Structure 1
Amino acid sequence: MGIKQKLGSAAAAQVPAVAPRLTSNFVRQALARAVDGVGPLKPASVTAQQVLDEHDGDVEAAVKAVIEKHVRLAGAQGFLTNIGGLVTVAVTIPANITGLAVIQCRMIATLAHLRGYDLADPRVRNAILACLMGPAEVDRMLKKKRLPAPPMALATAPHHDPELDLKISNEVATDLISRVVGKRLAVTIGRRVPVVGGAVGLTADGMSTWKIGRYAAKELRPRPGGSATGGSAQKA
């Protein structure tokens, strides 16, 4: 393991002390805000319908547009929350993690609605969180039997398992913390230049959002008979 990787791992271990409230409860709150909306933030279902209307009912064009929009949003917040460098890290890391969680949850929820999934269904919400971890982390958890099934299977499971809610939330919180700190703080510490943190934040958050968006679009396939978008979700 290189010096930067070691720095990132060490920093990740310290984040709970810096941001003790970034727990499973924080993940569920971020998901709820992303799905249901809060303040000026519209519910994901409303956004999905608006994007669908803008693309004349073409679901796949809407899916692509949703991913592209959230990549830009993630990059912008990644830049703003990391431009301060080491001096502001105790404040900006929690803000970065929270912002990234809401943006990526909202993107996945919007995609799920476009594909005909019921966002009120707890099974679908668990699938959204599973997508948030990305394919590599999901595969790792499946191999270690820490996750019973991939996102698509979670969303369409015969029954909802309440015990899975907390398990997935904890895993997502850990993954978000490690992702933000491990890939970003190591570079910031290594170079000690504030603007570098902003550039790295923009690139890292934008790229991770793009990858997760593509994974969610691939995993959450159209539901037969789905009616979340008035039946138009089946145009794909």
Structure 2
Amino acid sequence: MALPGKGGDRTSDAVKDVRSALEQAQAASADQGVLDRQSTKFVQNILDLGVDGKGWFDSAAHEADAALRENGGDVEAAVDAIVRSHVTKGAGTGFLTSVGGFITLPLALPVNLLAFYLLATRMTASIAKVRGYDLSSEQIRTAVLLTLVGADADDLLRKANVVVPGGTLSNLAVQRLPGPVLMVVQKGIGFRLLAQVGTKSFARLGRLVPVVGAAVGGGVDAYMLSRFARNAKDQFPRVAPAIER
């Protein structure tokens, strides 16, 4: 699946970064320093494009504002609309990037991974924005990324000596963590996301068969996005005001 539009150059570079990161992660003898840099770049691409948007890919703030307008300012209805929209788009992207089966898999996998995590990041950030969180805060942006690693989030924070009060990731905002600590956490997120690649690929073995693989790819992406949405709703409870105007 091509990723066209005014932001094509940036997105094309991001796809290359994802492919390079996958190659490094899969190489048993990969240099740790190179892998560190690829992991950091992988996460930064997802964060910048997924939250701030670029060209054809609308920002999380735009998605949040549009959902609120379309639902008459009802915050929870807007959240549900954001989830439905992203799950539907995820299913479509997973289907299209799996149509070619085994023949196109080496080219389609990096595109699919980038598209999947961009949608997951924007969906989570949009939910956070609708419920009143400041997406310019580096702590909130890191919390958005942490929702993508699920149960591993606690382990990553523990290794960085970070304790989140109240039990929800959104409470990172009150800690004012220094930049180096946030970088350590984000790099750890990159490693965990890349480690999930094997699990995602194994779950999609049906992709090796054209058409059948497309249905499997679309279904798996939709299911995983639904799981991320449930976690995002838990991690970003509503605060007042609901959204900045």
- Equivalence for 1:138: 153
C-alpha distance in 2, partners of 1:57/1:200?
36
Unaligned 5+ segments in structure 1 are 1-13, 231-236
Q: Is 2:116 aligned against 1:100? A: yes
- Equivalence for 2:186: 169
Residues 1:192 and 1:57: Cα distance change in structure 2 (over 3 Å): closer
Determine helix, strand or coil for the equivalent of 1:194: coil
Q: Deviations over 1:83-114 (max 9, x none)?
A: 32222222112111111111111101111110
Question: TM-score under structure 2 normalisation?
Answer: 0.76
Deviation at 1:145, TM superposition (A): 3.6
Alignment length (residue pairs):
212
Residues 1:80 and 1:165: Cα distance change in structure 2 (over 3 Å): farther
Higher mean C-alpha deviation, range 203-212 or range 177-186? 177-186
2:218 to 189, 197, 202: 202
Determine helix, strand or coil for the equivalent of 2:62: helix
Q: Deviations over 1:142-166 (max 9, x none)?
A: 5x64572351222x23313212333
2:125 to 103, 106, 109: 109
- Equivalence for 2:51: 35
C-alpha distance in 2, partners of 1:118/1:77?
29
The answer to whether the Cα contact below 8 Å between 2:156 and 2:185 also exists between their aligned partners in 1 is no
Question: What RMSD in Å do the two structures reach over aligned CA positions?
Answer: 2.6
- Equivalence for 1:16: 23
Aligned-partner residue type, residue 61 of structure 2: S
C-alpha distance in 2, partners of 1:186/1:113?
32
2:82 to 66, 70, 80: 66
Q: Percent identity between the aligned chains? A: 31
Q: Is 2:176 aligned against 1:159? A: yes
C-alpha distance in 2, partners of 1:31/1:67?
18
Q: Deviations over 1:67-96 (max 9, x none)?
A: 111111111111222232222222112111
Structure of higher RCO (CA pairs closer than 8 Å, 6+ residues apart): 1
Aligned-partner residue type, residue 16 of structure 1: E
Question: TM-score under structure 1 normalisation?
Answer: 0.78
